[in-house]
Amino acid sequence: MGSIRRSKTKRRTRDLDQIHRDLRDPKSLAQFKALIPDEDKPALGVHYCVECSKYFEQAHNLREHRRGKNHKRRVRMLEEEPYSQKEADAAAGTGCASFYEARELRAEQLRRDEEAREMEIEA
């Protein structure tokens, strides 16, 4: 049984909620795009897929990965909003009012962010 557990955790990447948090945070996204050479990572960490949290040896391998089924599936999974603690509480029947208030605030914040992006594109 030990060997099975080891093989399951050997190639473990970051979870979807962690990657979703990275994609929403411009600071962490800029860190990945800064391409700071790191000797411990393949190809000095230059070829990195943010959505899958994987490093590649060559740019060709990264391009082929982005065309692949696993990458596209991961991107589709990241389009969904991860569950929050408030949603879990609302499903259990506690804190429903605070959940709906938080959901409306979040939707309003997302609308403001989209408007800001559109303003940047127009400028």
Domain ranges of the chain: 11-82, 83-123
Residue 34 has pLDDT above 80, yes or no: no
Q: Under CATH, what is the fold of the domain 11-82?
A: Double Stranded RNA Binding Domain (3.30.160)
pTM: 0.59
pLDDT tops 80 at residue 22 = yes
**Measured between alpha carbons, how far is 107 from 80 in angstroms, rounded to an integer?**
14
Structure tokens at 61: 């391998």
